[in-house]
Amino acid sequence: AGFGPYASDVYRLPYPYPYRYPIPMTAIERRMLSLVDPREVACVGVEPVIGERWEE
């Protein structure tokens, strides 16, 4: 079907949270560009709610 191999790498970046972890967006962009060529990116996923587990 012309599809290439499945992606072998997942890149994770810190979530920009300006009140407790002040990282400008340009720093995040530079970090992403240093990890992977933009022409090789097929998808970008963003977790809208930060959290790893649910506690009651």
* The length of the chain, given as a count of residues: 56
Cα-only R_g, the chain: 15
5-32 b/e (C-beta count within 10 Å ≥ 16 → b): eeeeeeeeeeeeeeeeeeeeeeeeeeee
Give the CA angle between residues 35, 15, 17 to the nearest 5°.
140
pLDDT tens for 1-56 read 666 666 567 777 777 666 766 666 777 788 888 888 888 888 888 777 766 655 55
For residue 11, give the nearest of 42, 37, 40, 32 by alpha carbon.
32
Amino acid letter for position 21: Y
